[in-house]
Amino acid sequence: MKKNSKENSQTLCIHSGGEPDPVYGAVMPPIYQTSTFTFKSAEQGGRRFAGKEKGYIYTRLGNPTINALENAVASLECGKYALATSTGMSAVSTIFFALCSAGDHIVASSALYGATRVFLENELQRFGITTTFVDTSRKKEVEKAFQKNTKILYIETPTNPTLRISDIKWCADYAHKHKAILAVDNTFLSPILQKPLLLGADIVLHSVTKFLNGHSDVVGGIIVFNDEDLKEKVSKTLKHLGGTMDPHQAYLVFRGIKTLALRVLSAQENARKVAKFLKNHKAVQKVIYPEFEKDPEIKKVIKKQMNGPGALISFELKGGFEAGKKLLNSVKIMTLAVSLGGVESLIQHPASMTHSGVKREERIKAGITDGLVRLSVGCESFEDLSEDLKRALEKV
């Protein structure tokens, strides 16, 4: 079984992370819903605080249920360590606060998740950390953007919502050559379809709110590493900022991961058919989906680093945003909501919703046009989804 194969991931989803419960042999990890852990003696408490004895102290610093989730995701991403966080944005912000100081510089994909872009642009700048946003799928743009003080190359691939693909291996090599690190937000594909650490990335992060949990009932994040020093640095800052996960949240995500491969592959099968359906529909102007990529260089990258095109589709209608609004208001099975990666199909309008915080001029430059609609295809039956779209598109 190949380490990066879908089959291997399918087994890991079901078996990794949880050791059988040492007390009763429970198959699933118990939910250790406790804020604190008692010590057998004052001496033991002291030893644990001094790091001389292994064991739990306080849930912000570590908890067995959270550790079970961290182990599961680390092994799915082919990493050694993982840190679970309260939200995806906590994972994003903690990385920068842990690894950058005033005077440092970041190079990032221009079409990032809206809040990540706004965080880099507005919040980090107040601390003297600057970011240059470029289309990281174009190597020349990355080379041009790098400065002597660039500490992190931060990419989403595919980007949210324009589905631009960056070459992870090239980005990692280029960052390392310039003494920077590569961090990859792998939320859109999940480790079932892409494993950035195997391609040289130093950090992989997720909004586990999306595919990893998969049931639209939890928010959370996770950061995965191979390098212990890097993990220690981020862990220290995470404990100080306080954006750690809660045990119940961790249990739900751990449970969701059991079916991650099944869900992702089923949603992807639907997405392939929905993308074709949209491409052939007369009301549709343009469909963005990795399988339709025309650029031969990017096609090669897709083949090299992705196990499949994923379940996200962006498209534009001939009637622009007005037509898009009618579509959003007319679908019945698809849910009009932000977020993605749940078992249900979700449809939204990035310009007025997820990316409304990004300045219009920057948004358009990043390819997020006023009429773009983003669809996260779920696991319903394709016949029902296409019927829903057909009915709604007739009203456009």
What distances in angstroms separate CA 205 from CA 57, 81, 165, 331, one per listed residue?
26, 12, 17, 32
The one catalytic residue in 60, 139, 169, 325 is 60
63 binds ligand PLP (CB under 6 A): no
Q: How far apart are the first and last CA of the chain?
A: 48
| Least CB distance to ligand PLP at residue 40 (A) | 38
Give the interface size with ligand PLP as a residue count (CB under 6 A): 16
* 113 carries an active-site annotation: yes
Q: Which of 79, 88, 256, 350 binds ligand PLP (CB under 6 A)?
A: 88
How many residues are there in the chain?
396
Nearer to ligand PLP, 28 or 353 (CB): 353
Coil, helix or strand for 10?
A: helix
> What is the distance between the alpha carbons of residues 345 and 375, in angstroms, rounded to a whole number?
7
| Least CB distance to ligand PLP at residue 210 (A) | 6
Binding mask 103-142 for ligand PLP (x = CB under 6 A): ----------x--x--------------------------
Binding mask 206-225 for ligand PLP (x = CB under 6 A): -x-x---------x-x----
**To the nearest 10°, the Cα dihedral for 207, 213, 217, 219?**
-20
* 138 carries an active-site annotation: no
| Paired tokens of 259 | 């079916």
Residues 6 or more apart in contact with residue 240 via CB below 8 angstroms:
none
96 binds ligand PLP (CB under 6 A): no
Nearer to ligand PLP, 110 or 209 (CB): 209
* 60 carries an active-site annotation: yes
* 233 carries an active-site annotation: no
What distances in angstroms separate CA 243 from CA 39, 57, 221, one per listed residue?
25, 17, 10
- Residue among 169, 197, 182 nearest 80 (CA): 197
150 binds ligand PLP (CB under 6 A): no
Binding site for ligand PLP (CB under 6 A): 87-89, 92, 113, 116, 156, 160, 185, 187-188, 207, 209, 219, 221, 339
Looking at the annotation, which residues are catalytic? Answer: 60, 113, 185, 210
